[in-house]
Chain A
Amino acid sequence: MGAGIDGSEIIRSGETILWQGAPAKHFSTDAIAAMVFTFFAASFTLYFVYSLFQRGDRFGFMMAALLPVFVLAWVIKTFILDPRKTATSVYFITDQRVIIASRSTGLQIKEFDLEDLPPVKMEKDQSGSGSISFAMPGQKYKNHANPLSLYSEGFEAVGDVDRVFLILESAARSRMQANKNE
């Protein structure tokens, strides 16, 4: 279980866990693409700054010296902060809720009732693993060019994503049926 998060501190009494999982810790194609991009970006910025330094162009050097700072900040976010958040995440599907918990800076829990299941996006690779993301209600919509940015919360890098999706669907159906019968 990721980051030592115990289900007992999240699950309510009378609630049953139907599935629980954590992101698989492997290099995704996105991470490999990020590494290649970082290599070229870092090489270019260093060469650029060095060539300006050699020419004695002080203003250009000062301006260009900011580039490695941006690249470094991006590297820290991509390779340290984001993987740390992912590595400390735990996912639950219970008979009542979907829960996404992480402990990167204290215990953070995002949850919603199965009866209010938002639109779902599923990503699946050749091996059958992938992610299930939710268009979180009330989420601030920043990137107007990319509709996929709506689906930012969910289960990342889980194995047999089809099975997890079917558990989610079945749980949502049962939850709605149970609420109607009450």
Chain B
Amino acid sequence: MSEDLANQEWFAPYLGPDESVLWQGVPQSGFLAESKRQREGFIFMLVVALLSQSVVVTSEAPFYFKAAVFGFLISSIACVIKVFWITPARLMKSSFVITTCRVMIKMISGKDEIFFFPHTLVSDSFARKARKGRGDVLFLAAGCLPIRALYTARGGAVVLAVPSSLIFNIPNPERVQEILQDASEDVKLLNAMRD
């Protein structure tokens, strides 16, 4: 990326004196692989709520029971709208930057949310390929606790990640993972030499 172009971007104010941009990208889709089970679960919940409502509404069940089932239906609809439309729309506005010093992830949820992960805190990363050449880059960051365990193809090693340390739905994830890994190793090597 040229220096002029980088200066116009959202991350320009946060770049340090000797920091330069190695890669920048945006997601091609707002659906996370991690949320597949969640989406299936909420569809199932909606079906159960609709069936319950259709049975209860014509029955002689007490009023509070009918109200509870109706509340369940409303909650299910709200959850389905959230996981299928609101969250993907929000995630689509994300932006990722790998610099010589750190990873910056910008998300939008009413406000701008920017996550900063210095390379010194990034301990491991791997690429996960999905369909159409797209995929994710997951990385471990010190101080962040795992949200779930993911099994990689590399000998079944367990890699833990949180969505906030996830560069998702980008083209050519292997290349981006290499850039991240190289940058992270360079920083650590430099720090070791200084020590």
Q: A residues near B, CB below 8 A?
A: 29, 48, 51-52, 55, 57, 60, 63-64, 117-125, 130, 135-137, 139, 141, 144, 147-148, 150, 162, 165-166, 169, 173, 180
Contact = CB atoms under 8 A, between A and B. Distances in A.
A130 B110 CA distance: 12
B62 interface: yes
Contacts, number: 83
Contacts of B110: 29, 125
Interface of B: 13-14, 16, 62-64, 67, 110-118, 121, 141-145, 147-148, 162-165, 194-195
13 contacts: A52-B63, A117-B118, A122-B116, A123-B111, A123-B112, A123-B113, A124-B111, A124-B114, A147-B162, A147-B164, A165-B14, A166-B13, A180-B194
Contacts of B62: 57, 60
A144 B63 contact: no
Given A124-B111, A150-B144, 4 more contacts: A125-B112, A144-B147, A147-B164, A166-B14
A64 B64 contact: yes
Contact of A137 (B67, B143, B165): B143
Contact of B163 (A29, A57, A147): A147
A121 to B, nearest CB: 5
B45 to A, nearest CB: 14
A38 to B, nearest CB: 17
A150 B67 CA distance: 35
Contacts of B143: 118-119, 135-137
Given A147-B147, A147-B164, A180-B194, A121 B113 contact: yes
Given A48-B64, A55-B63, A120 B116 contact: yes
Nearest 7 A/B pairs, CB to CB: A118-B143, A141-B145, A60-B64, A135-B143, A147-B162, A147-B164, A120-B116
B30 to A, nearest CB: 16
Contacts of B121: 118-119
Given A147-B164, A166-B13, A173-B16, A119 B116 contact: yes
Nearest to A140: B145
Nearest to B105: A121
Contacts of B162: 147, 150
Nearest to B116: A120
Given A147-B147, A150-B145, A63 B64 contact: yes
A169 B64 contact: no
Contacts of B16: 169, 173
Nearest to B65: A60
Contacts of A150: 144-145, 162, 164
Contacts of B111: 123-125, 130
Interface hub of B62, B113, B195 (most chain A Cβ within 10 A): B113
Nearest to B38: A145
Nearest to A52: B64
A99 to B, nearest CB: 18
A122 B63 CA distance: 47
A135 B113 CA distance: 14
A121 B64 contact: no
Contacts of A57: 62-64
Contacts of A60: 62-64
B13 A162 contact: yes
A123 B111 CA distance: 6
A173 B101 CA distance: 12
